């Protein structure tokens, strides 16, 4: 009986280890937003005031990981796995506003979801500001 319980504990442990390992593998892949995110329209496209508001929020909340210049080199970002995204890269700037909006709404560890922390307007303002890092 006793060995049976020990075996169960061992098996549970194994399942946990395999589960965590596959999560790490999944995390190392590029983060892709679902296709329908591309169709969400940015209500602030080309709105300079919104971009300015986005900058303010970015400095407060995002620069610590993504860096003041959006290069993913903030003091808390460089050591993360995966690293905080570098917004100057083509692979980021090639995405639609809707895809970027979806990502910062949903989040993916180690980045938080901003669905409940920021209003929809604030999230779009941030998307506008992310565009200013385009080279």
Interface positions with ligand HEC (CB under 6 A): 31, 61-62, 64-66, 76-77, 80, 82, 84-85, 92, 95, 100, 103-104, 108, 110-111, 114, 126
Between 2 and 30, whose beta carbon lies closer to ligand HEC?
30
Task: Quote the least distance from Cβ 16 to ligand HEC, whole Å.
Answer: 22
From residue 92, alpha-carbon distances to 20, 31, 122 in Å are 28, 10, 19
In whole angstroms, the minimum distance from the beta carbon of 98 to ligand HEC comes to 11
3-state percent breakdown (helix, strand, coil) of the chain, nearest 5: 55, 0, 40
- Alpha carbon distances (Å) from 103 to 6, 9, 12, 123: 42, 37, 33, 10
Closer residue to ligand HEC in complex, CB, 4/81 = 81
């Amino acid at each position: 009986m006793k060995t049976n319980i020990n075996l169960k504990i061992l098996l549970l442990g194994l399942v946990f280890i395999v589960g965590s390992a596959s999560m790490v593998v999944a995390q190392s892949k590029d983060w892709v937003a679902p296709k329908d995110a591309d169709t969400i329209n940015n209500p602030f496209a080309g709105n300079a005031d919104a971009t300015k508001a986005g900058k303010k929020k970015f400095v407060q909340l995002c620069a610590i990981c993504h860096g003041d210049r959006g290069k993913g080199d903030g003091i808390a970002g460089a050591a993360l796995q995966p690293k905080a995204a570098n917004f100057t890269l083509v692979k980021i700037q090639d995405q639609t506003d809707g895809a970027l909006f979806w990502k910062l709404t949903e989040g993916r560890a180690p980045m938080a979801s901003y669905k409940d922390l920021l209003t929809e307007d604030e999230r779009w303002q941030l998307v506008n500001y992310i565009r200013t890092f385009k080279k």
